[in-house]
Structure 1
Amino acid sequence: MKTSVFRWIKRLAIVLLLVVASIGGVRIHDAQRKPPLGLWHTYVPAEMHARALDQATWDDYVAHENRLFDEVRKNVSDKLVPGDRVAANRYFTGSPVFPGHLKTDWNRSYTLAPEGTPRGVAVMIHGLTDSPYSLRHIAARYQHDGFFVVSIRLPGHGTVPASLTDVTAKDWEAATRLAVREARRRVPAPAPLHIVGYSNGGALALEYSLEALRDPRLARADRLILISPMIGITQFARFAGLAALPAILPAFEKAAWLDVIPEFNPFKYNSFPVNGARQSWRVTQDVQREIAQANRRGQLASLPPVLTFQSVIDFTVITSAIIDSLYAQLPDKGSELVLFDINHTTQLSPLMRASIRDALRRLTPAPPLHYRFTVLTNASSTSSHVVEESMAPNSTVTTIKPTGLDYPADIYSLSHVALPFPETDPLYGRTPDPNDDVGIQLGAQSIRGETGGLVVGAGMFTRLSWNPFYPYVAVRIDQLAGVTP
């Protein structure tokens, strides 16, 4: 009997080894097909980590950040080989997208002061592979509305993609605490504190607010504004670290990267290391655990009201997780979920997957709810006019209001990356502001040609990068700030 069991264990072990070897072989083969790594993939700046961040002041962090950018220029830009000194490389000082030559380098942390005495303070937390650029328009809106603004560059971002190989979720959480400390130093209570989080930053903003429920040393926010929040992502990210195992061997160092793409975007990484996905998954696990624990302790009633903007279709985050893991747990305290529906009149409708056309119905929770549920959608199946369909908490009645906005005929849905950018955004907008040059106009590109002719996938240009309903978002921000549009 024991011999038989041992034989089966041995066979199972052999099968598992063969499976692991096969996966490893496929991963190595896939990694080796990637382009060669550049200096920006191998030079790792010395970021501040969690323990140091929790002891640092804002001035300490900004001073260290300035040294990081100096070191990147010295160890990357000044050492580029001739083949890397091209216009499409943001690290080439002669490139039009070199951030150091632009009017504002939005990769860096910054503050904005309003005219006169601040009415409140807002903290901006950007997303993964992103930079403070992504929330610049919402930051400017808050400044216009009389708020002081603190926008932090999260560790691992804004410099070189390799920096994301040496960063942890704890570092991002500590940086969020630092930004809120500075916000309250600049504008003390009882002036309102709002925290705005985009994508991964949305999870960090929520995680901070949950942590503040049990730690009296942390300032509590009065409002949370989440944009495409990363409350849930695919399970692949959980095991992404395994994909990087071959990188232990120098010959297979490219296995540490999920994507190796030319860096032509001045304010966002195109290349993506495995560790970035792994740490982002840890953030989502932290925030989901915090929600469950706060719910068990009966503390969610003390969480500030949450306003979330989310596309029904999102390739990056799981939209249903926002509803099931967060909003289903919230008490009746003024929270609201705003969903942007697909365009039901688009001529591309016959080409859309049935699951996409039916997405809103599947996502809509059964009323009554403890929060306001709002959808921006077509007035009818034949109209491009967009209306706001809203259901108040504890109600089963939907009210419909015109928005004065139209769904563009050539857009079938919003995307994860589009929500915080207006049509006039100089980098991502369709009609860039001519007075705000950032070296390249990605959103205005309409590229056609044969398949395989570009150095990047066509999806990078077809994915919507601006929000046709941004004016609605701006109005809602004004309302939260206490300003009547």
Structure 2
Amino acid sequence: MQLHPLLRWPLRLFLLLLAFLLALVLGFSMYAVLALPALQPWHTERLTQEFRAEAHAGLDFDGYLQREALLFEELKARQAAWQAQEHSAERGEWGEWADSRFNPKSQVSRLAEGAPFNRSMRLGVKQARGQALLIHGLTDSPYAMKAMADTLRAQGMAVTLLRLPGHGTLPSMMLEMELRDWRAAVRIAAADVAKRAGPDQPFYLGGFSTGGALALLHSLDTLQDPALRRPDRVLLAAPAIELPPVAAVSNVVDVLHYLPIPLLQKTRWQELIAEYDPYKYNSFPINAGRQVFHATQALQQGLSEAAAAGRLAQMPPVLTYQSVVDATVGATGALDTLYARLPGAQHRLVLFDINRQQHLRSIVSPSSQALLDRVLASPRGYTLEIVSNLDPQSAAVAAQRWAPGASEASADPVSAALQPALQWPFDQVSLGHVSLLWPPNDPIYGYMPGSGRHGVPAIGSWLLRGESGATNLALGSLTRLRSNPFWALIEADLRATLVADLNARAGETKSHP
């Protein structure tokens, strides 16, 4: 039997696509089985007390915290069991445990003093002037938002740091988490923070990376559901809005793990790396990428629908900090998918340019300049700021501000007040995704001399040199900047923004007693 000619090409195309997917799955599976190191207990064992959207739909935030307390008690018991096994095993088998974040006596545990910021927490103030909910990024922990929380608290805002389900415990807990679990946790925490704010206090909602996507998704929900308190401001850092198209393959590459072959469980992991970071998983499961891809798809659809329905006119003011060079989520999502749709000067995007000193011209990529040229040439309905070198001969930087539609910039008063302290360090060429929200003297991620704690140097200061293969991770990963030399600018900008919001709110209260 011969196929009709009109059916031959679709069939051939289908078979080619099927062959491509099969080659992709088999190729990745071979890489995982042959190239990735052995699975450790924290890659395979699970905890049972984690929050799930369906199983725990009726919880309020107090209930969420109670369940989280049970989860961390379970984690503590699991660590004790591993410690007992370590004492009775050869070091060759349990060497990774001894030096990992899961050993309470390890160097990184001393550095983080027991890592208390792996958990959700309420950080109160004596007389709260407002309430904020801050959401960390993928494989991170609430510690990612600590510096921002400290800044807001110094101005009188009580802050809730949310631990997203699957985070802060074992990397294996990311294998089963779904986007709906994260969105449910955000909704529970946001309801609690909004209730604490009441009608008289401002409610800020902030997020980093995946947490930024979740903050935007919840903000869009509030535009449709009058029962949800709309944030008074949204604070974002490197929000995950768009991912490269290759991220879509996360839906299929780990399919062979369903086969009952233990060795194929490694296909569930994109990376298996020593867990030396007390506040971030280094190992990366395929499912983590899959869920953040789903989050970006949902966000893009939500923004499109809200724009078509005219709801974005009611969007709370959005303030975003973004590096023009971002190897994780890129900068184009914030520019083209979010800010291109936001109308009004109240929405502000702050871009951190690369170091453009003359002696670096021969080695910097031209793509960042092309992005800035495109932004400045495009119509803008929002306020734009660019933090860049004062001139090619100087390490000093300043922020310039463009009002919506303006072709001429004005000096940003916040950065002007910080001069001459804003300087590029001699050995830094750019910020990046994992550096925006940490000060340079941070005890975990700071790069400044003396950063660290209890005689343990900060991870951000590990600038090691040697031959490839000398370490169990790529030496290049240790040159990625983990903290921000211009954190003082973000800190001052947040402070000025909050003061302006509080003053405006006080003015509204006086005019409408």
Letter paired with 1:209: S
Cα distance in 2 for residues equivalent to 1:196 and 1:210: 14
Question: How many Å apart are 1:3 and its aligned residue?
Answer: 4.5
8 Å contact kept, 1:430–1:444 = yes
Q: How does 1:90-239 map to 2 (within 5 A)?
A: 90-98=101-109, 102=113, 104-115=115-126, 117-239=127-249
After superposing the two structures, state which structure 1 stretch, 37-46 or 277-286, moved more. 37-46
- Which position in structure 1 is the counterpart of 2:58? 55
In 1, the alpha carbon distance for the partners of 2:341 and 2:193 equals 28
* Residue 300 (str. 1) matches residue 303 (str. 2): no
Alignment of 1:387-402 (within 5 A): 387-401=398-412, 402=416
**Cα distance in structure 1, aligned partners of 2:449 and 2:56:** 37
Coordinate RMSD, CA, aligned: 2.4
Residue 121 of structure 1: how far off its partner (Å): 0.4
C-alpha distance in structure 1 between counterparts of 2:434 and 2:468, whole Å: 24
C-alpha displacement of 1:328: 0.9
The whole-number CA distance in structure 2 between the counterparts of 1:411 and 1:470 is: 14
Mapped to 2, the partners of 1:335 and 1:11 lie a distance apart of 49
- Change over 3 Å in CA distance of 1:474–1:10 after alignment to 2: closer
Q: Check whether the contact 2:101–2:109 (CA below 8 A) recurs between aligned residues.
A: yes
Task: Decide whether aligned partners of structure 1 residues 52 and 163 sit closer, same or farther in structure 2, where only a CA change above 3 A counts.
Answer: same
Partner residue of 1:36?
38
Q: How has the CA–CA distance of structure 1 residues 438 and 239 changed in structure 2, closer, same or farther, with 3 Å as cutoff? A: farther
Secondary structure at the counterpart of residue 117 of structure 2: coil
**Segment drifting more, 436-445 vs 313-322:** 436-445
Offset at residue 265 of structure 1 (A): 0.4
Match of 2:510 in 1: none
Counterpart of 1:446 in structure 2 is 463
- Rounded to whole Å, the distance in 1 between the matches of 2:24 and 2:358 is 41
- Give 5+ residue unaligned stretches, structure 1: none
TM-score by length of 2: 0.88
What's the CA shift for 1:54?
Answer: 4.3
Partner AA of 1:224 in structure 2: V
User: Share of identical aligned residues, percent?
Assistant: 34
1:410 aligned counterpart, secondary structure:
coil
With over 3 angstroms needed to count, the CA separation of the structure-2 counterparts of 1:91 and 1:14, relative to structure 1, is same
Tell me by how many angstroms 1:433 deviates: 6.6
Q: Which amino acid aligns with 1:90?
A: R
Between stretches 168-177 and 336-345, larger displacement belongs to 168-177
Q: Which residue of structure 1 lines up, in the alignment, with residue 438 of structure 2? A: 421
Residue correspondence of structure 1 range 256-335 to structure 2 within 5 A: 256-335=268-347
Name the CA shift for 1:16/1:387 in 2 (closer, same or farther; >3 Å). closer
Deviation sequence 1:92-112 (CA, Å, 0-9, x none): 233122389825511001111
SS of structure 2 residue aligned to 1:150 = strand
Amino acid aligned to 1:322? A
CA contact 1:378–1:387 (8 Å) conserved in 2: yes
Distance in 2 separating the partners of 1:68 and 1:100: 23
Q: Are residues 99 and 224 of structure 1, via their aligned partners in 2, closer, same or farther at CA, if it must alter by over 3 Å?
A: farther
Which structure shows the bigger proportion of residues in helix conformation?
2
Contact 2:348 2:384 in 1 (8 A): yes
Other-structure match for 1:19? 20
Corresponding residue SS for 2:460: coil
The aligned length equals 482
The question of whether the paired residues in 2 share the 8 Å contact of 1:262 and 1:270 is answered with yes
- Which amino acid counterpart does residue 122 of structure 2 have in structure 1? T
1-side partners of 2:169 and 2:156: how far apart? 31
SS at match of 1:326: helix
Give the alignment of 1:66-77 within 5 angstroms.
Answer: 66-77=69-80
Counterpart code for 2:372: L
CA distance in 2, matches of 1:400, 1:152: 36
Report the Cα offset of residue 199 of structure 1. 0.6
- With 48-57 and 390-399 compared, the bigger mean Cα shift is at 48-57
Post-superposition CA distance 1:374-407 (Å, at most 9, x none): 0000011111111111111232221135351111
Q: Secondary structure at the match of 1:353?
A: coil
Mapped partners of 2:454, 2:209: distance in 1: 25
Corresponding residue number in structure 2 for 1:384? 395
AA partner of residue 26 (structure 1): G
The one-letter amino acid paired with 2:319 is: L
Task: Check the 8 A contact 2:207/2:214 in 1, yes or no.
Answer: yes
Give the conservation status (yes or no) of the 8 Å contact 1:376–1:389.
yes
State the AA in 1 paired with 2:233: R
SS at structure 1 position matched to 2:160: strand
Which of 361, 366, 370 pairs up with 1:354?
366
What does residue 2 of structure 2 align with?
A: 2
1:374 to 379, 385, 403: 385
Q: Using a 3 Å threshold, how does the CA distance of structure 1 residues 396 and 185 change in structure 2: closer, same or farther? A: same
Distance 1:346 1:45 in 2: 53
Q: Does the aligned pair in 2 maintain the 1:53–1:174 contact within 8 Å?
A: no
C-alpha distance in 2, partners of 1:7/1:292? 37
Deviates more, 1:445-454 or 1:9-18: 9-18
1:201 aligned counterpart, secondary structure: helix
- Structure 2 CA distance for partners of 1:7 and 1:149, relative to 1, 3 Å: closer
Instruction: Give the match's secondary structure for 2:175.
Output: helix
| Distance of 2:344 and 2:465 partners within structure 1 | 50
Matched letter for residue 2 of structure 1: Q
After TM superposition, give the deviation of residue 281 of structure 1 in Å: 0.7
Structure 2 gap ranges (5+): 503-513
